[in-house]
C-alpha cells in the first residue's frame, strides 16, 4: 500500500485524491467538465475521494467551503500545473522509476550552480539538455539546480515556490525535468536540487485558508508566520517532498535552503527525519545544508545525516581578500581576513563558538576541526552573493585577472567541494540581479523594499536600480552561448578546465582516502595549509597580502610530490619560496 499522504495517487484504474484541510468543514473535488464531488473528511484532518478512469493530464482542483464564499484552490502537493501556480492541477501519469542510474563519490564533486530560467536563452529543462556538453567538457561533475518548485508568475529565482511538488511550467513539464536528469547522467554528471522548506512564497499559498496548523502566528520570520515543525503532519509534507525528488526524478542529492530559519520547536527532529527519509530512498544521496548557525554535528559521518554544508565563512573571508570590501556581513571577517581564510581552509568554519558581531555578540557555531574538508562546499560566488548585491554584478566585472585567478586556484585545488555559479567557469560578467513576477501591491512592495535596502549605495553612486519586476532585469541575467565563444571566455574556460584536471590528478587520489587532520602556519600575510589523509598530504601555500613573502612550504614528506601554481612563485635556496601577491602553489604528496 502506498504510504504517501500528500498529492494524487494513481492506483490501477483509479486516482485517489487527498487534501489536508483540518480547518474547513467542506471540500469538494472539481474535475474539469464534471460536477463537483464532495470529499470525505477523516479524523486526521484529511479529505479523500477516488475517481476511476481519469487520464494523465486531467485537470482538477479543490473547492473549499460552500456557496458564494467557496474558493477553488490548486492541490498543494500538485505534481504538475496546467498553467500558473494558482490554476488547475494535473493528474500525473503512474509513477515510474528513473530510467538511468548514476554513481559518483562525493569527493569528486565539482558543482555548477544553475538557474534553469537564465542558463539558456530559452530558459527551459529541454534547452538545458543541449548545454550539458558544455558543463561536462568544462570539468564539472555535478549540476545543482536552483529551486524549480512552482512559483507565481513567469520568472523567479525559485525561493518563492508555493507548490513544492510541481516543477514550474515556465521551465517545462515533469517529464522534461526527468529527461534532463537522465541526459545529465548519460553525460557523467550528477544532479542536485535546491529545496526550500523554511517558508512559502508571498503569493499563491492557499494553505492558511484551510490548514492554519501549518503555521505559527505567534512566531514570525522574514517571510511571515513560521512553519510549525512541531506538527508531525506538517513535517511529513516536507519529508515526503524531499524523498519524492530523489525517488521519482532521480536527483542525486538535495541542497536545503537556510535551515537556520526553521524557527519553531521540532526543527531538529525535522532535519533528522528528512535525512532518514532521503536515505531510505537513496542511502548515498548528497544532502547539503545551508545553515548560518554552523552546527558541525549535522555532518558527522558516523551519524549518516547530512553530507556537507555551504561554507559562507570561506566565501566571506576570501571575498574580503579578493575585493577589499569590508562592510556588512563581511565586517567580522575583515578584522583579520588572512586569519579567517586560514581557518576556513584548514578547519571549515571560521566561527566555531566565538562571539559573532552580526548576531549581537552571541556565540556562533561549534567546533569543526574533526570534519573532513569535503564536509564543506566552498565558493567564490553563488546566486546569493551575486544577486543580493545592488546591481547583481559579478566579481569578473570589477576584479583584476590576477585576483580572479588566485581565488579560483584556491577554490579548485583546496580539498573542500568547489561550487561555481553558472558562467563563472568562463568568468563571464553577466549580472544576476534579483527578479520576480508579482502583481499589484505585492509587486510595488518588493520594488520599494529592494530600493530601500540599497538606498545608501544608490545615493552614494547615483546608479540606476534594476527593477526586480521588469522583464528586462530578468533578460539581463540570461547566459548566451556566443558569450562563451569570445577569445577571453575561451581562454578562461581553458584555464578552468586545467584546474579541474589538476584537481582530478592531485586532489582526488588523496581525498578518496580517510581524512586525518590539518596544519596551518602563517608568515605575514602568507599561509601554509597541510591536509593529511591516509593516502598522503596536500600542501597549499598562498600569499593574500600586497607584498612578496618568503615562506617555507615544509614539503619534506616521503613520496614524490606533484604540484601546480598560480602567479609569481620563485624557488629560493633550501627549498624556500618567494610568493608574489596573489600567488599560490599546491603539492600533492602521496605516501610511498
Q: Which residue spans of the chain are classified as CATH 2.60.40.1180? A: 515-590
Determine the Cα–Cα distance for residues 438 and 404; give it in Å rounded to an integer.
36
Determine if residue 288 is labeled as part of a ligand binding site.
no
Please measure the distance between the N-terminal and C-terminal CA atoms of the chain and give it in whole angstroms: 56
Determine if residue 543 is labeled as part of a ligand binding site.
no
Q: Which three cell numbers stand for residue 442?
A: 505585492
- Of the candidates 257, 273, 424, 525, the residue annotated as catalytic is 257
Determine if residue 260 is labeled as part of a ligand binding site.
yes
Determine if residue 140 is labeled as part of a ligand binding site.
no
Q: Which residue spans of the chain are classified as CATH 2.60.40.10? A: 9-90
Q: Let me know if domain 515-590 sits in CATH 3.30.70.940.
A: no
Determine if residue 386 is labeled as part of a ligand binding site.
yes
Q: Let me know if domain 9-90 sits in CATH 3.40.630.30.
A: no
Considering the domain delimited by 106-199+236-257+266-345+373-436+458-500, tell me its CATH architecture. Alpha-Beta Barrel (3.20)
- pLDDT per residue rounded down to tens, the chain (592 residues): 457 899 999 888 899 999 999 999 999 999 999 999 999 999 999 999 999 999 999 999 999 998 888 999 999 999 999 999 999 999 998 877 776 667 789 999 999 999 999 999 999 999 999 999 999 999 999 999 999 999 999 999 999 999 999 999 999 999 999 999 999 999 999 999 999 999 999 999 999 999 999 999 999 998 899 999 999 999 999 999 999 999 999 999 999 999 999 999 999 999 999 999 999 999 999 999 999 999 999 998 878 899 999 999 999 999 999 999 998 889 999 999 999 999 999 999 999 999 998 778 899 999 999 999 999 999 999 999 999 898 999 999 999 999 999 999 999 999 999 999 999 999 999 999 999 999 999 999 999 888 888 876 666 555 678 999 999 999 999 999 899 999 999 999 999 999 999 999 999 999 999 999 999 999 999 999 999 999 999 999 999 999 999 998 887 544 545 689 999 998 887 778 899 999 999 999 988 6
Nearest alpha-carbon partner for 424 in 503, 507, 496, 324:
496
Assess whether 290 carries a catalytic annotation.
yes
Assess whether 257 carries a catalytic annotation.
yes
Determine if residue 256 is labeled as part of a ligand binding site.
yes
Determine if residue 312 is labeled as part of a ligand binding site.
yes
Opening angle at CA 400, ends 398 and 401, nearest 5: 120
Q: Which three cell numbers stand for residue 387?
A: 544577486
Determine the Cα–Cα distance for residues 451 and 463; give it in Å rounded to an integer.
11
Determine if residue 384 is labeled as part of a ligand binding site.
yes
CA 49: distance to chain centroid?
Answer: 37
- Of the candidates 290, 374, 437, 492, the residue annotated as catalytic is 290
DSSP state of 582: T
DSSP state of 59: E
Determine if residue 10 is labeled as part of a ligand binding site.
no
Determine if residue 187 is labeled as part of a ligand binding site.
no
Nearest alpha-carbon partner for 587 in 554, 539, 553:
539
Amino acid at each position: 500500500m502506498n504510504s504517501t499522504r500528500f498529492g494524487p495517487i494513481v492506483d490501477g484504474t483509479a486516482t485517489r485524491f487527498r487534501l489536508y484541510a483540518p480547518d474547513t468543514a467542506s471540500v469538494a473535488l472539481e474535475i474539469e467538465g464534471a460536477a463537483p464531488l464532495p470529499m470525505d473528511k477523516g479524523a486526521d484532518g484529511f479529505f479523500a475521494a477516488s475517481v476511476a478512469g481519469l487520464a494523465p493530464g486531467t485537470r482538477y482542483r479543490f473547492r473549499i467551503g460552500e456557496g458564494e464564499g467557496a474558493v477553488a484552490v490548486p492541490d498543494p502537493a500538485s505534481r504538475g500545473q496546467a498553467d500558473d501556480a494558482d490554476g488547475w492541477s494535473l493528474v500525473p501519469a503512474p509513477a515510474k522509476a528513473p530510467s538511468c542510474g548514476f554513481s559518483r563519490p562525493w569527493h569528486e564533486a565539482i558543482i555548477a550552480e544553475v538557474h534553469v530560467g537564465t542558463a539558456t536563452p530559452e530558459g527551459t529543462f529541454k534547452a538545458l539538455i543541449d548545454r550539458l556538453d558544455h558543463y561536462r567538457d568544462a570539468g564539472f561533475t555535478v549540476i545543482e539546480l536552483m529551486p524549480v518548485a512552482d512559483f507565481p508568475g513567469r520568472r523567479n529565482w525559485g525561493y518563492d515556490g508555493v507548490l513544492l511538488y510541481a516543477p514550474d511550467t515556465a521551465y517545462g513539464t515533469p517529464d522534461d525535468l526527468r529527461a534532463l536528469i537522465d541526459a545529465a547522467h548519460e553525460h557523467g554528471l550528477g544532479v542536485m536540487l535546491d529545496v526550500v522548506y523554511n517558508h512559502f512564497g508571498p503569493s499563491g499559498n492557499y494553505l492558511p485558508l484551510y490548514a492554519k496548523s501549518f503555521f505559527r502566528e505567534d512566531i514570525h520570520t522574514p517571510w511571515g508566520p513560521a512553519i510549525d515543525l512541531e506538527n508531525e503532519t506538517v513535517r511529513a509534507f516536507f519529508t515526503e517532498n524531499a524523498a519524492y525528488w530523489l525517488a521519482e526524478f532521480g536527483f542525486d542529492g538535495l541542497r536545503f535552503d537556510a535551515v537556520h530559519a526553521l524557527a519553531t520547536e521540532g526543527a531538529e527532529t525535522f532535519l533528522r527525519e528528512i535525512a532518514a527519509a532521503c536515505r531510505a530512498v537513496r542511502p548515498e544521496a548528497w544532502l547539503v545544508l545551508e545553515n548560518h548557525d554552523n552546527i558541525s554535528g549535522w555532518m558527522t559521518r558516523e551519524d549518516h545525516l547530512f553530507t556537507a554544508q555551504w561554507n559562507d565563512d570561506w566565501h566571506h573571508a576570501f571575498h574580503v581578500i579578493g575585493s577589499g570590501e569590508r562592510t556588512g556581513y563581511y565586517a567580522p571577517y575583515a578584522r583579520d581576513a588572512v586569519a579567517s581564510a586560514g581557518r576556513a581552509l584548514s578547519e571549515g568554519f571560521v566561527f566555531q563558538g566565538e562571539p559573532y558581531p552580526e548576531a549581537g555578540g552571541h556565540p556562533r557555531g561549534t567546533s569543526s576541526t574533526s570534519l573532513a574538508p569535503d564536509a564543506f562546499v566552498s565558493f567564490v560566488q553563488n546566486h546569493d552573493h551575486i544577486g543580493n548585491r545592488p546591481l547583481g554584478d559579478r566579481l569578473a566585472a570589477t576584479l583584476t585577472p590576477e585576483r580572479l585567478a588566485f581565488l579560483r586556484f584556491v577554490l579548485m585545488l583546496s580539498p573542500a567541494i568547489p561550487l561555481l555559479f553558472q558562467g563563472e567557469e568562463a568568468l563571464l560578467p553577466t549580472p544576476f540581479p534579483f527578479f520576480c513576477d508579482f502583481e499589484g501591491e505585492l509587486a510595488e512592495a518588493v520594488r520599494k523594499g529592494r530600493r530601500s535596502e540599497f538606498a545608501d549605495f544608490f545615493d552614494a553612486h547615483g546608479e540606476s536600480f534594476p527593477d526586480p519586476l521588469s522583464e528586462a532585469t530578468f533578460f539581463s541575467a540570461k547566459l548566451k552561448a556566443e558569450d562563451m565563444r569570445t577569445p577571453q571566455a575561451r581562454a578562461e574556460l581553458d584555464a578552468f578546465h586545467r584546474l579541474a584536471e589538476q584537481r582530478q590528478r592531485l586532489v582526488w587520489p588523496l581525498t578518496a582516502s580517510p581524512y586525518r587532520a590539518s596544519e596551518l602556519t602563517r608568515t605575514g600575510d602568507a599561509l601554509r595549509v597541510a591536509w593529511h589523509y591516509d593516502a598522503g598530504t596536500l600542501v597549499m601555500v598562498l600569499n593574500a597580502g600586497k607584498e612578496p613573502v618568503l615562506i617555507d612550504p615544509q614539503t619534506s614528506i616521503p613520496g614524490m610530490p606533484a604540484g601546480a601554481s598560480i602567479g609569481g612563485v620563485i624557488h629560493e635556496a633550501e627549498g624556500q619560496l618567494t610568493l608574489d601577491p596573489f600567488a599560490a602553489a599546491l603539492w600533492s604528496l602521496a605516501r610511498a
